[in-house]
Amino acid sequence: MNGVASQPGVDPSPFDLCRGGSPAGVPAAALCLHGLTGTPYEVRPLAEAIARRGIRARGPVLPGHDSTPEALAAIPRSVWLSAVRDEYRHLRAAHRRVFVVGLSLGGLLALRLSQEESVDGLVAVATPLAFRQPIPLLIPLLKWIVPTIAKKTGSDIRDAEARARHPGYDRIPLASVHEVIRLQRTVASGLSRITAPTLVAHGSHDITADLGDAERIHREVGAKVKELMILPRSAHVVPVDVDGAELAEATADFLARQL
């Protein structure tokens, strides 16, 4: 995609996966959402496992993520949410059951969608409910002084080879981080409204999102069916990290149980 750095053979493009190649007659679909400055590539391993269970798996690119960091900086959270709602309603019109799977920002958007719509299952991976202080206090000011910051060591992935080939922007717009902070506040205050069966997953070595956020989501969602999965060898972008295959199978199994 334009403006997104990636290695040869790595496809950051949106996807629509379905066993047999056609979604016609498929009873269920999963909307798979990537993280801030990322691409659909980082949730594709989950989608491929889901599709093997006979569930359509669709991974759009979030607005602002197919151009430049400067373009992303101009996108408010309302535009991300509107795009996610449109994708969900498109799938709901075609399938009896619709699930939502999200990583990081995608997890926040998945939680927010689940507060608004009657989704049939939810998987939230490495979802930050609040950034560590003083980030929430500084970002509203810093975004005007330093519009973007570089990812000095790449994405938060422990597997060095996976980190080296990971596609995405090499800079983070602080205006976008501010939009994430605003979204966090809305989502965190309404976790009890989420009643869809929920799987919460988090890497033990995540330095982007706190493990306590995963425990809080699991504790506070109003779902009767909820599970917490801690991935002991992985950091933030778990689907492409050391425990990615384990998470993919667990995600697919969890959604298959909701059919």
pLDDT digits (tens, 9 = 90+) for 68-117: 999 999 999 999 999 999 999 999 999 999 999 999 999 999 999 999 99
| The pLDDT value given to residue 2 | 53
Q: Is the pLDDT of residue 29 over 60?
A: yes
- Region 125-153: mean pLDDT is 89
| The pLDDT value given to residue 86 | 98
Q: Is the pLDDT of residue 165 over 60?
A: yes
Sign of the alpha-carbon torsion through 227, 235, 35, 168: negative
Question: Dihedral angle at the C-alpha atoms of 75, 103, 84, 135, nearest 10 degrees?
Answer: -30
pLDDT, greater one: 19 or 175: 175
Domains of the chain listed by start with CATH number: 15-256 (3.40.50.1820)
Amino acid at residue number 121: G
| The pLDDT value given to residue 22 | 76
| The pLDDT value given to residue 151 | 81
Tracing tokens 């976008």 back to the chain, one arrives at 176
Q: Is the pLDDT of residue 152 over 70?
A: no
Name the percent of the chain lying above pLDDT 90.
Answer: 85
| The pLDDT value given to residue 136 | 85
Tell me which residue of 48, 43, 50, 54 sits closest to 20, measured CA to CA.
54
pLDDT, greater one: 10 or 92: 92
This model's pTM is above 0.75 = yes
Q: Which two tokens stand for residue 187?
A: 């989502």
Amino acid at residue number 56: R
What is the distance between the alpha carbons of residues 224 and 99, in angstroms, rounded to a whole number?
A: 16
Interhelix angle 174-188/105-116, rounded to 10 degrees, is 40
- Region 192-220: mean pLDDT is 97
Under the banding of pLDDT at 50, 70 and 90, the label for residue 67 is very high
* Phi, psi of 231, rounded to the nearest 5 degrees: -95, 110
Mean pLDDT estimate for the chain: 94
Under the banding of pLDDT at 50, 70 and 90, the label for residue 25 is confident
Q: Is the pLDDT of residue 20 over 80?
A: no
| Chain segment 224-243, per-residue pLDDT in tens | 999 999 999 999 999 999 99
Query: How many CB atoms neighbour CB 258 within 10 A?
Result: 17
Under the banding of pLDDT at 50, 70 and 90, the label for residue 23 is confident
What is the distance between the alpha carbons of residues 40 and 183, in angstroms, rounded to a whole number?
A: 20
| The pLDDT value given to residue 90 | 96
Under the banding of pLDDT at 50, 70 and 90, the label for residue 63 is very high
Under the banding of pLDDT at 50, 70 and 90, the label for residue 6 is low
Tracing tokens 């070595």 back to the chain, one arrives at 205
